[in-house]
Amino acid sequence: MSKVYPFKALRPNTKVLNNFTVSFAESEAREELLERIKHFPENFLQIHKPHLIAGGEMSANEILKASKNSLKKYMDEGVLLEDPKPCIYIYMQINGSHTYTGIIALASIDEYKEGKIKKHELTRIEKENKMLDYFERVHINGSPVLLTYPDDASIDTLISSLTRGKPEFNYTSNDEIEHILWRVCEPENIEALAKHYAKIKNLYIADGHHRCAAYSRLQKPGEGFMAYLVPAGQLNIYGFHRLITDLDGLKRKKVLHELKEKFLVKKVEGEFAPSAPGVIYMFMKKKWYSITIPEALKKHKNTRENLDVSILDTYILHDILKIQDSRSSTKIQYVNGNTPLERLAEAVLSKRARIAFALYPVHMSDVIKVSDEGMTMPPKSTWIEPKMRSGLVIQKW
């Protein structure tokens, strides 16, 4: 049984909608963001990451104070408006050839703690603690956890019937992604959605493990966290690449020698995106290499240990590079899987990193198997889309 609840969302008014919300890419590109904010100062990052906008350094306390001040200001000025009654929201995102349709509602923190909402990745403690501190002091979240479930035709049919009317908004953001949202506020329609989702045995976290972990330490029994629920068949999944920034004196020649003792390692000409599981690509000292995983390393009983990302974590990062815990190590930088491979090479050539590893994506069926087996993958094992723009729908408590 999977519980979903309506809530009173805080949403930007339609006049500022396009410029208020922020994509992940924009939040990482500070210079472009600052230029945009000169012309459109109302922006969700003023609440979420004010230190990116401030000219100088800010302490943790100053950041949280600025976040609360911006939230109050936007609510007082009507930039952010709270819906008058609890609703469930149907959200459709069209990104190129991909269309994603699901509901935004509150999911049960109790079901997460009981293991009915299943996770597949470990979290990084530092990031989890930062999110917890933010949630405790600012009392909002503008980025729903992405949850998934096995495809269900009856839910698809119900959602289709509820989207026949005029949406609350339909706009295309500056990254050329179309966003459409409908409010479902009628009690009978909310009840119909709740009954259909109650038939789903388990939900699975596709994106948002850190948010769930932080929520679980914050929320009381019976409370809920904002989630975007999308059927598994609609999701688009990429790998997550790794940059190794420090070898702690380990010579790259020795790294290569030890790799060849366990794997079939070959130099490759040009840049190759991993095209199938079982082969990891590595860029080191101006050269790309393919690392083919032998069958002997993929004979574990559980799904997790046979995955490329786990083999990389265990046999290469831990055994060869001596990284004891990828969850807490500061020697690893994670790069989302739709990043062009030349950027990984550039990081090594510019000496911002010593080695780059590129991975083929984990299949969604394996993600679900790992979750059902009660296992977790190494941190940042998957990059799953859709990614919602932050600030589009906000939970406030």
Q: What is the pLDDT of residues 146-173, one digit of tens each?
A: 999 999 999 999 999 999 999 999 999 9
Q: 375 in a domain, yes or no?
A: no
In whole angstroms, give the CA distance from residue 142 to residue 12.
Answer: 11
Q: 378 in a domain, yes or no?
A: no
Helix 209-218 vs helix 125-138: crossing angle, to nearest 10 = 50
Mean pLDDT of 84-110: 97
Mean pLDDT of 345-356: 96
Closest by CA to 368, choosing from 146, 198, 118, is 118
Q: Which two structure tokens, joined as six digits, stand for 392?
A: 């589009």
Co-location of 293 and 348 in the same domain: yes
Task: Classify burial at 112, counting beta carbons within 10 Å of its beta carbon; exposed 0-12, middle 13-18, buried 19 or more.
Answer: buried
Residue 277's pLDDT band, with cuts at 50, 70 and 90, is very high
Co-location of 231 and 87 in the same domain: yes
Co-location of 169 and 250 in the same domain: no
In whole angstroms, give the CA distance from residue 40 to residue 18.
Answer: 10
Q: What is the b/e burial string over 312-344, where b = at least 16 CB atoms within 10 angstroms of the residue's CB?
A: bbebbbbebbebeebbebebbeebbbeeebeeb
Q: 215 in a domain, yes or no?
A: yes
Q: Torsion over CA of 289, 357, 360 and 92, rounded to 10 degrees?
A: -140
pLDDT at residue 29 tops 90: no
Co-location of 334 and 293 in the same domain: yes
Q: Is the omega angle on the peptide bond into residue 386 within 30 degrees of 0, that is, cis? A: yes
pLDDT at residue 99 tops 70: yes
The CATH number covering residue 245 comes to 3.30.1760
pLDDT at residue 109 tops 90: yes
Q: 322 in a domain, yes or no?
A: yes
From 37, 59, 76, the end of a domain falls on 76
Co-location of 90 and 28 in the same domain: no
**Domain that residue 335 falls in:** 240-360
Q: 125 in a domain, yes or no?
A: yes
Q: 57 in a domain, yes or no?
A: yes
Q: 163 in a domain, yes or no?
A: yes
pLDDT at residue 56 tops 70: no
In whole angstroms, give the CA distance from residue 172 to residue 189.
Answer: 28
Q: What angle do CA 392, 367, 145 make, to 5 degrees?
A: 20
From 76, 99, 123, the end of a domain falls on 76
Closest by CA to 344, choosing from 359, 327, 326, is 359
Co-location of 149 and 120 in the same domain: yes
Q: What is the pLDDT of residues 279-304, one digit of tens each?
A: 999 999 999 999 999 999 988 889 99
Co-location of 244 and 232 in the same domain: no
Co-location of 36 and 165 in the same domain: no
Task: Specify the pLDDT at position 21.
Answer: 92
Co-location of 88 and 210 in the same domain: yes
What pairing do the DSSP bridges indicate for beta strands 117-118 and 203-207? parallel
pLDDT at residue 131 tops 60: yes
Mean pLDDT of the chain: 92
| 3-state SS string for the chain | CCCEECECCEEECCCCHHHHCECHHHHHCHHHHHHHHHHCCCCCHHHHCHHHHCCCCCCHHHHHHHHHHHHHHHHHCCCEEECCCCEEEEEEEEECCEEEEEEEEEEEHHHHHCCCEECCECCCHHHHHHHHHHHHHHCEECCCEEEEECCCHHHHHHHHHHCCCCCCEEEECCCCCEEEEEEECCHHHHHHHHHHHHCCCCEEEEECHHHHHHHHHHCCCCCEEEEEEEEHHHCEEECEEEEECCCCCCCHHHHHHHHHHHCEEEEECCCCCCCCCCEEEEEECCEEEEEECCHHHHCCCCCHHHCHHHHHHHHHHHCCCCCCCCCCCCCEEEEECCCCHHHHHHHHHCCCCCEEEECCCCCHHHHHHHHHCCCCECCCCCEEECCCCECCCEEEC
Q: Centre a 10 Å sphere on the Cβ of residue 19 and count the other Cβ atoms it contains.
A: 18
Co-location of 180 and 276 in the same domain: no
Co-location of 107 and 228 in the same domain: yes
Residue 33's pLDDT band, with cuts at 50, 70 and 90, is low
Co-location of 99 and 50 in the same domain: no
Task: Specify the pLDDT at position 272.
Answer: 66
Longest Cα separation, the chain = 67
Mean pLDDT of 306-320: 95
Per the structure, the count of domains in the chain is: 3
From 49, 76, 103, the end of a domain falls on 76
Q: What is the pLDDT of residues 216-269, one digit of tens each?
A: 999 999 999 999 999 999 999 988 899 999 998 999 999 999 999 999 999 998
In whole angstroms, give the CA distance from residue 149 to residue 242.
Answer: 28
pLDDT at residue 55 tops 80: no
Strand partners, 322: none
Q: 370 in a domain, yes or no?
A: no
Phi/psi for 23 (5° steps) reads: -85, 165
Closest by CA to 376, choosing from 305, 280, 279, is 305
